[in-house]
Amino acid sequence: MDECSFLAKFKNEDVTNRETRSGYLVIYPDGYKSWSPSEVFETAYREVVRGEVELFRETDAEIGQTEADC
């Protein structure tokens, strides 16, 4: 999603006569919507592979057990 589209759709800003940049719409788990320029996003983020997803789930479960024991 380009920057002007994001600003117009989610921030209700007037983007008339404004230059735009390519980028990404980022939606966080709590529903917050943000926009990131392509170069920044592609440097900071990467695709999570299947093994990592399972590791995250296991870690979350372990953290939940530890908190319950306190």
Asked whether the whole model's pTM tops 0.75, one would answer no
Better-predicted residue by pLDDT, 35 or 70: 35
Q: How many domains does the chain have?
A: 1
pLDDT at 59 (0 to 100): 81
Q: Return the SS3 of 20.
A: coil
Distance CA 2, CA 37 (A): 8
pLDDT of residue 66: 55
Three-state DSSP class for residue 19: coil
User: Across residues 15-38, what is the average pLDDT?
Assistant: 94
Question: What's the domain range around 48?
Answer: 3-69
Dihedral angle computed from the Cα positions of residues 54, 55, 57 and 63, in that order, rounded to the nearest 10 degrees: 170
Q: Tokens at residue 50, please?
A: 């299947």
* C-alpha distance from residue 63 to each of 19, 39, 56 (Å): 46, 34, 10
